[in-house]
Amino acid sequence: MTGLWSFMVEHESEILSATLEHVELVLIAMATAILIGVPLGMLIVRRAKLRALALGIAGIFQTIPSLALFGFLIPIPFIGGIGKRTAIVALTLYALLPILRNTYVGLTEIDPAVLESAEAMGMTQAQILFRVRFPLGLAVILAGVRTATIITIGVATIAAAIGAGGLGTFIFRGVALVNDSLLLAGAIPAALLAILADFLLGRLERRLRVT
Amino acid sequence: MTIAEQNLIEFRGVSWGTNGGSSPQIIADVSLAVARGSTLVLLGRSGSGKTTLLKLINGMHWPSNGEVLVEGRATREWDAIRLRRGIGYVIQEAGLFPHFTVAENVALVPTLENWPKEKIAARVKEMLRLVGLEPGEFAQRRPRELSGGQRQRVGVARALAADPPILLMDEPFGALDPVTRAELQGEFKALAERLGKTIVFVTHDLREALVLASHIILLERGRVVASAGPEEFLRLQHPEVLAFAACLGVGSGAT
C-alpha cells in the first residue's frame, strides 16, 4: 500500500488531469443525453407509436456491450474514428435509456386525480406538461440522470481503449504492465467519482421529491 | 327569459360510449335540464354513468349522439379550454396540486387567466375565508399538511376562485368521515345558495342527495330512471329508487 501511495503522490498531476479528462467526457455525454432524453421523454408522453420506437432504440443501445458499441462507431464517418468524439457519442447513447425511460415514467406516473383536475380546470396540454407533470416528475427524472451518470462514469473507463483518455488509461496500462499501483491509480479515482456522483445526485433527488 | 337562458345546462338525447358510440353505451339517450341557480344531484350506483355525464358538461367527453348545451351553446361549439375555465370542478380526493401551496392551488384559474397579482392575492384570501380557512394560517401550507376536510375546502375554494357560474362536483365529500362530511354538506349548501351557483353534484348517497338537491336524477346503467324534487323522490315506486331508499339509515352516508 505504501507503494501505491507514493506512486499516486508521484504521479499526482497526471492522475489529476486524467480525472479531469474523465469528468469532461462524462459531463459532455451527460449534457447531450439530457438535452436529447428529457425533451424526447416529454414528447412521447402522449404519442404511443413514437414512445415504443424511442424506448426500443434506446434499449438496443443499452444492450450492446460497451466495448462493442465503441467498435461499431469507429468505422462510421464523421462521428466515428479513434478518440474523444467517438467515446462521447457512445457514452451519450448509453446514458440515453435511463434518462428517457425515467422522464417518461416520471411524467406519466402522476396521481390521476391531479391530472383530471388540471384538465378540468382548463389547463392546456402544454401547461399540464410544464406546470404539473414536470415538477411532479422531476425527482424520478433525476433518478434516471443519477443512474445514467454512474453508468457513464463506469463505461468512460473503457473509452481509453479507443484513445479517448480518462482514468481508463491507467487501468489499461496497469493491466498490460501487470502493475497494480498503475491500475489502482485509475480504478480508485474512478470508483470515488461514481460514489460521489451517486451521493450528490441522490441528495438532490430527495430534496426535489414532492410528497 | 328564454328557455336557453333559464337552463344553464341542457342535455338533448345524449348518448356516449367509448369508440365513438360503437361499443356498449355508457350514457344512453339522456335528456335533462339544469335551471340557473339550482342544484341537480345525479344519483346512482358505481358504474351507472354519473361521472361520465358530468364530464360531458365540461368537454372532458363529447357526446356520441345528441348534444349538450352550456349557456345555450353546444359544447362542441365551445373552445374546450374556455368552457372548462368557466366551470368549477371538485372531485373526491380534491386533486390539489401537491407541489403548490394552498394559495397557489386556489389561484390556479385566475393565474391561468392572467389576472393582476394583487387581484389574485385578494381573491385567494376571500375564497379561503369563504370556505372557513383562515388565510394567515393556511395560505402557505402544502396540501399534505391539511386534513381531508380541509383539502376539500381548498378544492371548493379553487373551483370558485374565478367565479364560474357552474360548479361540477364528483362525490366531493365521499372520502370524508361522517361528521366532517355532514359539516361540509351543510356549509356547502348555505354557500351555494348564497352565491347562486348552478351546480351538478354526483353522489351515490341518497341522504346527501336529499340534503343538497333542488332536483334529483337517478341513473341506472346510463339511463335516467327517476327524476324528481327531493320531496317527491322518496314517493317514487321505481325499483331502483326503492333500492336506494332501503339503504337510508344503514348506508355509508348515514350517521
Strand partners, B227: B217
Inter-chain contact A121–B96, Cβ cutoff 8 Å? no
Partners of residue A111 in chain B, C-beta under 8 Å: 93, 95, 98
Residues 6+ apart with CB under 8 A from A169: A18, A160, A186
Q: Three-class SS of residue B140?
A: coil
Q: What is the pTM of this model?
A: 0.87
User: Is residue A8 very low, low, confident or very high in pLDDT (cuts 50, 70, 90)?
Assistant: confident
Q: Which of B87, B99, B171 to mutate to test the interface with A (most CBs of A within 10 A)?
A: B99
Partners of residue B175 in chain A, C-beta under 8 Å: none
**CA distances, B74 to each of A161, B18, B71, B164, B181 (Å):** 68, 20, 8, 18, 35
Q: Determine the pLDDT at residue B2.
A: 52
Q: Could you tell me which chain B residue has the CA closest to the CA of A209?
A: B99
Q: B25 or A185: whose pLDDT is higher?
A: A185
d(C-alpha B72, C-alpha B10), whole Å? 8
Inter-chain contact B98–A120, Cβ cutoff 8 Å? no
Phi-psi region of B60 (alpha: psi -120 to 50; beta: other; left: phi over 0): alpha
Q: How far is B85 from chain A (nearest CA, A)?
A: 5
Inter-chain contact A121–B83, Cβ cutoff 8 Å? no
Inter-chain contact A121–B84, Cβ cutoff 8 Å? yes
Q: Determine the pLDDT at residue B5.
A: 59
Q: Could you tell me which chain A residue has the CA closest to the CA of B56?
A: A120
Q: Could you tell me which chain B residue has the CA closest to the CA of A132?
A: B97
Q: How far is B144 from chain A (nearest CA, A)?
A: 7
Question: How many beta-carbon contacts under 8 Å exist across A and B?
Answer: 62
Residues 6+ apart with CB under 8 A from A129: A42, A45, A107
Q: Determine the pLDDT at residue A77.
A: 84
| CA nearest neighbour of B87 among B6, B169, B166, B198 | B166
Strand partners, B43: B203, B218
Name the grid cell of B248: 337510508
Inter-chain contact B93–A119, Cβ cutoff 8 Å? no
d(C-alpha A18, C-alpha A133), whole Å? 40
Say whether pLDDT at A203 is over 90: yes
Q: How far is A79 from chain B (nearest CA, A)?
A: 42
Q: Determine the pLDDT at residue A9.
A: 87
Q: Which of A121, A133, A209 to mutate to test the interface with B (most CBs of B within 10 A)?
A: A121
Q: Determine the pLDDT at residue B254.
A: 41
Partners of residue A123 in chain B, C-beta under 8 Å: 81, 108, 112
User: Which positions in chain B have a beta carbon within 8 angstroms of at least one beta carbon in chain A?
Assistant: 58, 60, 80-87, 89, 91-99, 108-109, 112, 144, 155, 158, 168
Say which residue the cell 392551488 belongs to. Answer: B105
Inter-chain contact B89–A117, Cβ cutoff 8 Å? yes
d(C-alpha A87, C-alpha B237), whole Å? 79
Q: Could you tell me which chain A residue has the CA closest to the CA of B94?
A: A113
pLDDT in tens, A46-86: 899 999 999 999 999 889 998 898 888 888 888 778 888 99
Q: How far is A207 from chain B (nearest CA, A)?
A: 13
10-residue mean pLDDT profile of chain B (255 residues): values are: 71 84 78 94 93 95 94 94 95 91 97 96 96 95 94 95 95 90 91 92 94 95 93 91 82 44
Q: Please, what's the b/e burial string for A113-145 (b: 16 or more CB within 10 A of its CB; e: otherwise)?
A: ebbbbbbbbbbeeebbbebbbbebbbbbbbbbb
Average pLDDT over residues A163-171: 92
User: Is residue A7 very low, low, confident or very high in pLDDT (cuts 50, 70, 90)?
Assistant: confident
Task: Give the ipTM.
Answer: 0.88
d(C-alpha A187, C-alpha A201), whole Å? 21
Angle at the Cα of B39 from the Cα atoms of B33 and B43, rounded to 5 degrees: 80
Inter-chain contact A135–B89, Cβ cutoff 8 Å? no
CB proximity A159 to B under 8 Å: no
Q: Which secondary-structure segment (H or E) carries B8? A: strand B7-16
d(C-alpha B116, C-alpha A144), whole Å? 39
Q: Three-class SS of residue B91?
A: strand
**CA distances, A166 to each of A9, A37, A69, A153, A184 (Å):** 18, 25, 18, 10, 14
| CA nearest neighbour of B81 among A119, A117, A115 | A119
d(C-alpha A66, C-alpha A164), whole Å? 14
**CA distances, B243 to each of A90, B46, B223, B253 (Å):** 67, 14, 16, 15
Q: Please, what's the b/e burial string for B102-124 (b: 16 or more CB within 10 A of its CB; e: otherwise)?
A: bbbbbbbbbbbeebeeeebbebb
d(C-alpha B214, C-alpha B230), whole Å? 7
Judge whether B81 and A122 are in contact, CB under 8 Å. yes
Name the grid cell of B198: 348552478
**Angle between the N-to-C axes of helices A12-43 and A84-108, in degrees from 0 to 180, rounded to the nearest 10:** 40
Q: Determine the pLDDT at residue A103.
A: 97
Say which residue the cell 474514428 belongs to. Answer: A81
CB proximity A118 to B under 8 Å: yes
Q: Determine the pLDDT at residue B255.
A: 41
Q: Determine the pLDDT at residue B73.
A: 93
d(C-alpha A193, C-alpha A23), whole Å? 8
Average pLDDT over residues A32-36: 97
Q: A20 or A5: whose pLDDT is higher?
A: A20
